[in-house]
Structure 1
């Protein structure tokens, strides 16, 4: 599809509601910036009081409680507004930890939507220009309800690869063929999903591999992917050339636009405070290390590991004799006793490694000292790693990460596996890290990364696929008000 020249120059005002997770907030903010800077959008970014509290605690804002104040008051004067609302639960409620299932129940039982509806209504009543678009994360199960009530255009934003969207979208086929939600789940390859040649069941998302489908998360997935079928547009943080068959199959069913990668590629520095944890600056330590010698280790903002896994990774890193930065965030282990690292770990690694609770990932990955990334295969981490030319050692933990791993290791060959469905053992980790950081192995993956990175880069050019797809989306908004 190619964008046509348009005589329309309509201004749109979109309310943007991301899922309240770090991996969804960042691409949503970046898409908001792109719409405001290049597409003449007014955007009201809607979030929750507890998230705003976490952001301001992690990185206190100097002038305002408004995370967009710098870009709004800067030279480009972007019209991005910021609102936070209550989700009906106390600020200190453990939404992602021990009370996760309770929080998901609040989400799926229709209680959260009452607060969102009230927040949307207040924005609409007090906004100039008039709000006409709702851009909402695809995991919300009631986007169409909000859009219909307030007469808004319904745009669904998918922050993960198109392949994962395609699997959820065809969950009925997985059930019909016995690969999901069946007493005796099939283990043979899946070859009936439109746009997917063949998929091993181990490459399904963790939720599609689970046998208990009565949980709140499964209710949300079912409702959300019924709701998304009524979206007027689906915007996806992927690149058309990377997932062409899958995207073409989806476009035969729904208006699906690959508009990624949405991260800001100009600079690894933050001009907007979005992190939910305080950042540690690793630059001074990295500056003293040789080029491509350091392994960056991070398992993202949400995934939980067992204490045994953390211990085995610690021993594997210690015995590998490789330079490393390990992001070991608080509460990565549920109900931990505060003692995650083995006795003598700090002494054992000497100055070879540092452990930090959180850091600026783009700043680390862009540093010349980084030679590899031991990752959970979160989609944002994958795109950023490719952008900075860093090969990946893959250890998926849950949700889309298993499917993402397939793209990285099997399809694009820009990474390798830490383990193959085996329990983590320190000796295996040691061997894998040494092999992964071996120059010959890294060089081969870096050749493949250059190819994939070129696709990301060209997609963002003025005549690139992602730029054109975003143009088509705006064109369609203008032509069919």
Structure 2
């Protein structure tokens, strides 16, 4: 009886990550952290996401558990994580990348109904322990309505920096001042966002820079951020000391907790959509310390063939530079597979390694890796700082422009790959050389930023204290079901 009563009192949260690689990984890590602190987690993955993970594992020779990506963690640590897969509204055979607008319409209209039905059925089944919380990625359009309908506490998980969140959060100010959604957007510095020093328009998330923000993607992004405004709590994958003024201002309007960095640091949970190309570790082992430039543009963003070729020619001009380049097979967004210059791999043989996919944290943490040419995805930024690898920044989409500002202008742990929108091989070659040969100042700054991350995760650090406060506050939010009016 006592054991049953104790189980009944455990906090139980439903977690729903956005079905994208860069959002799934921190959500998996957050689920593990909550489970290690006594939470029961019902973790919802889409069927297509689960299918990609399972296929990637099978292609590397593993024998994956076809039912549960958390099975090893449950067996090792006894975590109560209940894994569920749901349809996103499309058959598995549907090509989501090539039919992007249709896919986004599905996330707007079909997926919310599917999740709502699942939650309703789960709650009506007298699940034990009872579900009290809905933790959903901030880039969903439905959580606040679903949480309200089912009397759940809505926790929005923001997987990007607080600076990007606050720019979306104050979109009404950008509109009022004419920096967004006007026929002729102002281009001067923005100096009226609470907690943010003057910020240039080029440093806004890309969807706030567009002069015609009316696509389905724009509608989806802006609707999701309107929904996040309605959340009871927001947890953010950042560190207070890195964005203190922005976070302090946000906390005046919203319960906002900086609990990062949340990223893979040895987790055994399978969450990669692509199989890792073998041989990266031994290849790096044979290279001197800080001699290799790692190049990757992440798991989602497409890069034009012309840009890839200019970067390749920049590498050819640096004839003594070693590099490891991860180029996804779908990186250009089309079927074309031969994106590198003719004869490139033969010409760089012995000093360069081109792979389809690799374990980024393992590459960045290797002593041979001395620089990172990156799209500035937030996961990549945090991992790079953690591993003390200076960045050569080439933002392409969404928060990456804002992240670049933090990396280059604020923290001074990276430099720009090119000065403008045009990518030229000479400028690329020169900046690669500078990053690898003249980056002592960046490396010193990196050490300080790494200490900031480490300190935040220490028992008395800001992120750990914020996480404890968050758990305390959300438990206070719970009321007996009978006391909530319907």
TM-score class normalised by the smaller sequence = over 0.9
1:410 paired residue number? 409
TM (norm. structure 1) is: 0.94
Residue among 72, 75, 78 paired with 2:74 = 72
2:143 paired residue number? 143
1:160 paired residue number? 160
1:276 paired residue number? 273
1:320 paired residue number? 318
1:51 paired residue number? 49
- Change in Cα spacing, 1:113 to 1:424, as seen in structure 2 (3 Å) is same
1:189 paired residue number? 189
Q: For structure 1, which segment, 396-405 or 210-219, has the greater mean C-alpha deviation from structure 2 after superposition?
A: 210-219
Asked whether 1:332 is paired with 2:334, we answer no
Asked whether 1:62 is paired with 2:37, we answer no
Residue among 451, 456, 461 paired with 2:448 = 451
Per-residue CA deviation, residues 110-141 of structure 1 (Å, 9 max, x unaligned), is 22211111222343345321111100001111
1:36 paired residue number? 35
Whether the aligned pair in 2 keeps the contact of 1:56 and 1:65 (CA below 8 Å) is no
Q: Secondary structure at the match of 1:59?
A: helix
Give 5+ residue unaligned stretches, structure 1: 1-8
Distance in 2 (alpha carbons) for counterparts of 1:422 and 1:41: 46
Distance in 1 (alpha carbons) for counterparts of 2:21 and 2:338: 25
Distance in 2 (alpha carbons) for counterparts of 1:123 and 1:442: 54
Deviation at 1:376, TM superposition (A): 0.2
Distance in 2 (alpha carbons) for counterparts of 1:353 and 1:318: 10
Whether the aligned pair in 2 keeps the contact of 1:378 and 1:404 (CA below 8 Å) is yes
Q: Secondary structure at the match of 1:410?
A: helix
Deviation at 1:63, TM superposition (A): 4.1
Per-residue CA deviation, residues 292-321 of structure 1 (Å, 9 max, x unaligned), is 000000000011111111111111112212
Structure 1 segments (4+ residues) deviating >6 Å: none
Asked whether 1:388 is paired with 2:387, we answer yes
Q: Secondary structure at the match of 2:260?
A: coil
Distance in 2 (alpha carbons) for counterparts of 1:105 and 1:327: 31
Deviation at 1:64, TM superposition (A): 4.4
Asked whether 1:476 is paired with 2:443, we answer no
Deviation at 1:65, TM superposition (A): 2.3
Whether the aligned pair in 1 keeps the contact of 2:57 and 2:64 (CA below 8 Å) is no
Deviation at 1:478, TM superposition (A): 2.0
Distance in 1 (alpha carbons) for counterparts of 2:451 and 2:238: 14
Per-residue CA deviation, residues 207-246 of structure 1 (Å, 9 max, x unaligned), is 1111111111221222222222221110000000100000
Whether the aligned pair in 1 keeps the contact of 2:258 and 2:466 (CA below 8 Å) is yes
Whether the aligned pair in 2 keeps the contact of 1:320 and 1:430 (CA below 8 Å) is yes
Mapping of residues 48-127 of structure 1, within 5 Å: 48-60=46-58, 61-74=63-76, 76-95=77-96, 97-108=97-108, 110-126=109-125, 127=127
TM (norm. structure 2) is: 0.93
2:13 paired residue number? 14
2:378 paired residue number? 379
Whether the aligned pair in 2 keeps the contact of 1:312 and 1:425 (CA below 8 Å) is yes
Asked whether 1:299 is paired with 2:297, we answer yes
Distance in 2 (alpha carbons) for counterparts of 1:305 and 1:431: 21
1 or 2 for the larger relative contact order (CA 8 Å, sep ≥6)?
Answer: 1
Distance in 2 (alpha carbons) for counterparts of 1:111 and 1:134: 19
Q: Secondary structure at the match of 1:424?
A: coil
Distance in 2 (alpha carbons) for counterparts of 1:423 and 1:314: 15
The root-mean-square deviation of aligned C-alpha atoms, in Å, is 1.3
Whether the aligned pair in 2 keeps the contact of 1:22 and 1:276 (CA below 8 Å) is yes
2:354 paired residue number? 355
Per-residue CA deviation, residues 121-165 of structure 1 (Å, 9 max, x unaligned), is 343345321111100001111111111122211000000000000
Per-residue CA deviation, residues 260-297 of structure 1 (Å, 9 max, x unaligned), is 001243x3xx5111000011231010011001000000
Whether the aligned pair in 1 keeps the contact of 2:240 and 2:462 (CA below 8 Å) is yes
- Change in Cα spacing, 1:122 to 1:319, as seen in structure 2 (3 Å) is farther
Deviation at 1:102, TM superposition (A): 1.4
Q: How many residues are treated as equivalent by the alignment?
A: 464
Whether the aligned pair in 2 keeps the contact of 1:168 and 1:221 (CA below 8 Å) is no
Deviation at 1:336, TM superposition (A): 4.1
Deviation at 1:330, TM superposition (A): 1.3
Give 5+ residue unaligned stretches, structure 2: 1-7, 479-486
Distance in 2 (alpha carbons) for counterparts of 1:89 and 1:166: 33
Distance in 2 (alpha carbons) for counterparts of 1:229 and 1:334: 33
